[in-house]
Amino acid sequence: MSITIEKINKAFGQFQALNDVSLDIPEGQLTALLGPSGSGKTTLLRIIAGLESSDTGRVLFGGDDVSKLHVRDRNIGFVFQHYALFRHLTVAENIAFGLESLPRKQRPSKQDIRQRVDKLLEMIQLPQLANRYPAQLSGGQKQRVALARALATQPRILLLDEPFGALDAKVRKDLRRWLRALHDEYHFTSIFVTHDQEEALELSDQVVVMSQGKVEQVDSPTELYARPDSRFVFDFLGHVNVLSGVVKGQKLTQGDAWVSLPGAKSDQEAQLYLRPHEVQLSRTANAHARLPLRIESISLIGSEVRIELQPQGWQSTELWETGMSHAEFASQNPARGELWYAVPNVGHLFFEDSHQPKTVDWHYQNAANASNM
Amino acid sequence: MAGHNRRVGDQPWVRRSLIGLALTLTVILLVIPVVVIFTQALSAGWTTFAGNILDEYTLHAIGLTLFVALLTVPLNLVFGTALAWSVTRFRFPGRKLLITLIDIPFAVSPVVAGLLYLLLYGRNGWLGGWLSTHDVQLMFAWPGIVMVTVFVTCPFVARELIPLMQQQGSEEEEAGVVLGASGWRIFRKITLPNIKWALIYGVVLTNARAVGEFGAVSVVSGNVRGQTNTLPLHVELLYQDYNIVGAFASASLLAGIAILTLVAKAFVEWKQSSSESPAPEKGGV
């Protein structure tokens, strides 16, 4: 069932939690609501569920306006951040709760309910824990039970509020993979709230980035990472290296640092955003960029060597960061304290007057000697 | 660790004299008076004791006291639960003030409370005049006794529930509503089991206070033997009549109720702490 959100506004006293939010959630997809705390993502999820009412605007499920429909009648599954399992009921009773709450006419027989619960326990791989109480479960097990409970009435929409927020890293990874597999098998429409970019990008088909009660960008994970629409999305999604400067003589300059920008108008301020993988390190400056940096730290753990760098003769609010393959690291042998030059391949340029970035590709320029949009 | 974990300054004589002092004070202030009540009540033998208890006026006082408690406890159970629910589940202007107002009966001396009720509902009171023209008498009759008892005991249930319900939050109830449960089903299946022991604890305390209340009741009851005399008032009347043994016999009943209350309170506290982590053998559908 697709979900449409039309011009939702919501204020808590003076605080505008949601500001004219419109959104389309396609049927059968796993969508992430991603944003920092206070961006309104949980409020939006609760409005979709009906746990919170919007001041203005509509929510539609499969084209039907459900804004006036009580939570009870929306037939959605909701997984709470802290699981919200019923502490005085066993795992099996928790899972059966939704089925037993159905109106008498629709309610399955006691035996059918028991069978359905057994099947769900199989699905979450915890049949041996049917008679345990929530207090006797680990965090990961609680989350699975919460999911089974939400799915028991076979809702066509599943909403999850920070589903993995309270779990440790290892359990998180397992559960993520498991949720993805579950979603691919049952194909309900799911929305989950998260503040973890990695989680959003890894798990979802579509990511909605939110900030200060507004939708910043809606895109597939690949597009979102490769082509952020705004500074906010850039900053929020992973590390970014920034050179702020002034354009002079077709170069963006600050202190001792510059990069060439053929065709750019002079005397305007601009910021160049570079992802760690869009920058390489070299012992010498080259023809299109001179970005001197001193190696601050080297981290060898992981599939790539991560290097943090301190600008030399120019300023950046945060350290620069780049990666290098272990093979390259072995041959180049960079060491802490050495002076290196960053060489950008592709960059994203924000001018003062524009919200959206302009992509610059120096590889292409070097080959064709022309600017590339 | 087998040895003593002694902190600095915890010399044996400090420890021993502090424990000794606490024990001595407990014995002098608490144990001896309770023992005295029972020895005095029984000083003239079991037959006299039974005679004192089975006295017509004493029986009436017992009846009235139980009757008042029987009305007060359910009233405050409903009132306390509703109050705790509204201040922990809803946000509204004046919520903080309401939480503070709940404590008024604890802050105000019961005698003052009794006088206030007399001023409002007595024959010459603000509402009393209107009430008496309609032939309703609240003061110097059992309704007045119930009213002041309800007033004096109304914080107990709410005070037990509010911190617990605040701590538990409303997520479980929200989960219930999302799963399609009706309001009544949510209350019965989710809220009530979660607050059960706190509720019982509040009831035990309410009952103990309702049975033992003296000050407020003595102002509004009029102390008519066989009509508006509760057990605590009856003790005083007997004492003023120089019927010391009779007074202590009635007092021993109140003391007995108090001891039962303590036992019940200890039991509920124990259940409350163990219900935080239900034992495995409790399981099974």
**Separation CA A15–CA A64 (nearest Å):** 30
Q: Are B67 and B229 contacting, i.e. CB atoms less than 8 angstroms apart?
A: no
Is B128 part of a structural domain of the chain? Answer: yes
Spatial CB neighbours of A254, under 8 Å, sequence gap ≥ 6: A243, A244, A245, A246, A314, A315
Q: Which of A77, A98, A131 sits opposite B285 (nearest CB)?
A: A131
- Contact list, B281 vs chain A (CB under 8 Å): none
Number of domains into which chain B is organized: 2
Q: Which of B174, B178, B194 sits opposite A88 (nearest CB)?
A: B194
**Separation CA B146–CA B217 (nearest Å):** 8
Asked if B132 and B268 sit in the same domain, the reply is yes
Is B281 part of a structural domain of the chain? Answer: no
Range in A79-88, A162-171, A292-301 the model is least confident about: A162-171
**Separation CA A150–CA A153 (nearest Å):** 7
Tens of pLDDT, residues A26-65: 999 999 999 998 899 999 999 999 999 999 999 999 989 9
CA nearest to B93 within chain A:
A13
Provide the 8-state DSSP code for A87.
T
Asked if B12 and B153 sit in the same domain, the reply is no
Contact yes or no for A101 and B179 at CB 8 A: yes
Tens of pLDDT, residues A335-367: 999 999 999 988 888 887 777 888 888 876 655
What phi and psi, each to the nearest 5 degrees, are found at residue A167?
-105, 155
Please give the residue range of the domain that contains residue B29: 1-41
For the segment A205-213, the average pLDDT, to the nearest whole number, is: 94
B164 interfaces chain A, CB cutoff of 8 Å: no
Is B269 part of a structural domain of the chain? Answer: yes
B91 interfaces chain A, CB cutoff of 8 Å: no
Tens of pLDDT, residues A96-148: 999 999 998 989 999 999 999 999 999 888 999 999 999 999 988 999 999 99
Which tops the pLDDT comparison, B227 or A34?
A: A34
Single-letter residue type at B8? V
Which tops the pLDDT comparison, A365 or B30?
A: B30
pLDDT attached to residue B86: 92
**Separation CA B166–CA B150 (nearest Å):** 25
pLDDT attached to residue A370: 42
| Angle between helix B192-212 and B244-275 (nearest 10) | 170
Spatial CB neighbours of B280, under 8 Å, sequence gap ≥ 6: A132, A133, A136
Asked if B81 and B16 sit in the same domain, the reply is no
Identify which of B253, B219, B183 has the alpha carbon closest to the alpha carbon of residue B38.
Answer: B253
Tens of pLDDT, residues A218-242: 999 999 888 888 888 988 888 889 9
Count Cβ atoms within 10 A of the Cβ of residue B122 and give its class: 0-12 exposed, 13-18 middle, 19 or more buried.
Answer: buried
B278 interfaces chain A, CB cutoff of 8 Å: yes
pLDDT attached to residue A369: 47
Provide the 8-state DSSP code for B127.
T
pLDDT attached to residue B226: 83
Structure tokens at B149: 């008892």
Q: Are A54 and A62 contacting, i.e. CB atoms less than 8 angstroms apart?
A: no
Identify which of A115, A182, A99, A170 has the alpha carbon closest to the alpha carbon of residue A144.
Answer: A182
Single-letter residue type at A179? L
**Separation CA A4–CA A16 (nearest Å):** 21
**Separation CA B206–CA B157 (nearest Å):** 7
Question: Which of B178, B187, B195, B275 should we substitute to test contact with A (largest number of A Cβ atoms within 10 Å)?
Answer: B178
Question: Which of A72, A82, A95, A154 should we substitute to test contact with B (largest number of B Cβ atoms within 10 Å)?
Answer: A72
Asked if B104 and B197 sit in the same domain, the reply is yes
Q: Quick one: pLDDT band at residue B268, thresholds 50, 70, 90?
A: confident
pLDDT attached to residue A115: 94
Report ipTM (2 d.p.): 0.78
Q: Quick one: pLDDT band at residue B2, thresholds 50, 70, 90?
A: very low
Q: How many CB atoms lie within 10 A of CB A12?
A: 12
Is B16 part of a structural domain of the chain? Answer: yes
For the segment B151-166, the average pLDDT, to the nearest whole number, is: 93
Report the mean per-residue pLDDT for chain A: 89
Asked if B125 and B252 sit in the same domain, the reply is yes
Asked if B168 and B194 sit in the same domain, the reply is yes
pLDDT attached to residue B26: 95
Checking if the pLDDT of A83 tops 80, the result is yes
CA angle A2–A66–A80, rounded 5-degree value:
75
Q: Are B122 and B128 contacting, i.e. CB atoms less than 8 angstroms apart?
A: yes
Q: Is the dihedral of CA B158, B163, B166, B169 positive or negative?
A: negative
Asked if B124 and B157 sit in the same domain, the reply is yes
Q: What proportion of chain A, given as a percentage, has pLDDT over 70?
A: 97
Residues in chain A: 373
B167 interfaces chain A, CB cutoff of 8 Å: no
For the segment B49-53, the average pLDDT, to the nearest whole number, is: 90
Asked if B13 and B83 sit in the same domain, the reply is no
Q: CA of B266, closest CA in chain A: separation in Å?
A: 22
Q: Which of A49, A75, A132 sits opposite B283 (nearest CB)?
A: A132
What CATH number has the domain bearing residue B208? 1.10.3720.10
B92 interfaces chain A, CB cutoff of 8 Å: no
Asked if B23 and B140 sit in the same domain, the reply is no
**Separation CA A170–CA A343 (nearest Å):** 36
What's the predicted TM-score (pTM) here? 0.79
Contact yes or no for A75 and B190 at CB 8 A: no
C-alpha pair distances (Å), B284 with each of A90, A161, A203, B279:
8, 30, 37, 11
Return the SS3 of B90.
coil
Asked if B260 and B183 sit in the same domain, the reply is yes
Asked if B19 and B77 sit in the same domain, the reply is no
pLDDT attached to residue B6: 63
Q: Are A161 and A45 contacting, i.e. CB atoms less than 8 angstroms apart?
A: yes
Q: Find the radius of gyration of the CA atoms of chain B.
A: 24
Contact yes or no for A51 and B176 at CB 8 A: no
Contact yes or no for A72 and B177 at CB 8 A: yes
Is B284 part of a structural domain of the chain? Answer: no
Asked if B109 and B221 sit in the same domain, the reply is yes
**Separation CA B175–CA B177 (nearest Å):** 6
B194 interfaces chain A, CB cutoff of 8 Å: yes
Provide the 8-state DSSP code for B63.
H
Is B53 part of a structural domain of the chain? Answer: yes
Which tops the pLDDT comparison, B131 or B79?
A: B79
Identify which of B132, B137, B133, B140 has the alpha carbon closest to the alpha carbon of residue B114.
Answer: B140
Is B139 part of a structural domain of the chain? Answer: yes
Contact yes or no for A131 and B283 at CB 8 A: yes
Checking if the pLDDT of A372 tops 50, the result is no
